[in-house]
Amino acid sequence: MSPSVRNIVAWVLQVLLGLAFIASGFKKFTDLAGTLAMFSGIGLPGTLAYVVAGAEVLGGIGLLVPRFTRPAALGLLVVMLGAVVMHATKIPGGLANGVPALVLLVLLAVVFWLRQRGPRRCATVHKH
């Protein structure tokens, strides 16, 4: 894949994922009572609802800022891994209802991979 195509694909994914996570986190904050009830219903502490909502909003913003893209993707990967595990083990409907979380997890991994820095070239000159 050429660097320009790689960059375009990465930006499209970053914008779509960024907007999705900002919207998801914002929704959790605007329906805080429902979010807290959902978290407590699966045995998670209410404070984790605030952490997840905040991580989604900040991570979504981070995906849109080049300097923070990889750290944001990594943080959101952790959040989505937790979501997938919860769907597989505690949330009614199981992993079948967790497919969106699994898709987001994979797309975040793709962004993380696409935004890796290329191999560093050694600046020293070797004499033979």
Q: Is residue 84 part of a domain?
A: yes
Q: Is residue 97 part of a domain?
A: yes
pLDDT tops 80 at residue 124: no
Q: Is residue 68 part of a domain?
A: yes
Q: Is residue 88 part of a domain?
A: yes
Q: How many domains does the chain have?
A: 1
Q: What is the pTM of this model?
A: 0.87
Q: Which range of residues forms the domain containing residue 57? A: 3-114
pLDDT at 127: 55
CB 35 within 8 A of CB 48: no
Q: Is residue 32 part of a domain?
A: yes
User: Which band of pLDDT confidence, cut at 50, 70 and 90, is reported for residue 128?
Assistant: low
Euclidean distance between the first and the last CA atom of the chain, given in angstroms as a whole number: 35
CB 116 within 8 A of CB 11: no
Q: Is residue 126 part of a domain?
A: no
Q: Is residue 57 part of a domain?
A: yes
pLDDT at 119: 58
